[in-house]
Amino acid sequence: MQQRRSRFLSVRRPLVVVAALLCADLPSLAAHEGPPFPILMDEPVAGHVVSVWADPDIGEAQFFVIVESPGGGPPPAAPRVAMWFEPVSGRLERATEQATRQPLQNQMQFEVSPYFDQRDMWQIGFRLTGSDGAVGELTSEIESTPPGYGPLDLVIYLFPFVLLGGMWVFAVARRRRMMRTQPGRNVRPHAEVQPMPRES
């Protein structure tokens, strides 16, 4: 039993090492919490229809502004898009970031990355300046979200896979050992099956 257990552990060891190596590189792996979600949909602004998707992570927030013409599809000329943000409490002054257009086909989309310093409620606004000079603004409120648990997330959610991998290796090794000791077992009697008729 002890021998079997140590063999099982030795099989799992490489997997644990891989997981540990990956954990060591967590600062670069810790991605933002949650996928972007829409906060404004199909709002008419400055002769355009605008939707805004938010990924308001602390320290690495991203906002995506999708601009369509009123009839649908990307507008013929790109507007200028800027975002302002300030804590609802007023503890910081209002800051403004220019949005940059993303290289996507078939749709006009802008990205802007404001800096949220801590978990808080933020007043945000998106100012569009059309090519014809028309200006419009959309405002909303949003809560900045903290990152995940970091290394703990990885350990918790990776554990079932490590377990599965270990069981898989164990099962294969066990079956091969069984086949070596009992060569006749699990053999498909192909040779006895009459050949399929050539006309089928």
Name which of residues 88 to 127 contact another protein (CB under 8 A).
Answer: 102-107, 109, 111
Per rule CB under 8 A, is residue 28 in the interface with another protein?
yes
Contact pattern for another protein over residues 49 through 78, marking x by CB under 8 A: --x-x-x------x-x-x-x---xx-----
Tokens 């978990």, residue located = 119
Tallying the residues shown for the chain, one arrives at: 200
Query: Looking at beta carbons only, is 29 or 95 nearer to another protein?
Result: 29
DSSP line for 119-177: S-EEEEEEEEE-TTS-EEEEEEEEE-B----THHHHHHHHHHHHHHHHHHHHHHHHHHH
Instruction: Name, in order, each residue with C-beta under 8 angstroms of 96's C-beta and a sequence gap of 6 or more.
Output: 82, 83, 84
**Is residue 186 a contact point for another protein (CB under 8 A)?**
yes
Q: Is the four-CA dihedral 84, 88, 92, 93 of positive or negative sign?
A: positive
Tokens describing residue 186:
């699990």
Residue selected from 7, 34, 91, 139 as contacting another protein according to rule CB under 8 A: 34
Q: Please state the closest distance from residue 21 (CB atom) to another protein, in A.
A: 10
- How near is the Cβ of 27 to another protein at its closest, in Å? 11
β-partners of residue 83 are 97, 126
Binding segment for another protein among 12-20, 77-85, 121-129, 131-139 (CB under 8 A)? Answer: 12-20
Closest distance between another protein and the C-beta of residue 87, in Å? 22
| Burial class (CB within 10 angstroms; exposed 0-12, middle 13-18, buried 19+) of 123 | middle
The whole-angstrom separation of Cα 64 and Cα 80 is 14
Among 95, 141, 164, 177, binds another protein (CB under 8 A): 164
* Phi, psi values for residue 199, rounded to 5°: -90, 110
- If binding means CB under 8 A, how many residues of this protein chain bind another protein? 69
Binding residues for another protein (CB under 8 A): 15, 18-19, 22, 28-38, 41, 51, 53, 55, 62, 64, 66, 68, 72-73, 102-107, 109, 111, 147-149, 153-154, 156-158, 160-162, 164-165, 168-169, 171-172, 175-176, 179, 183, 186-200
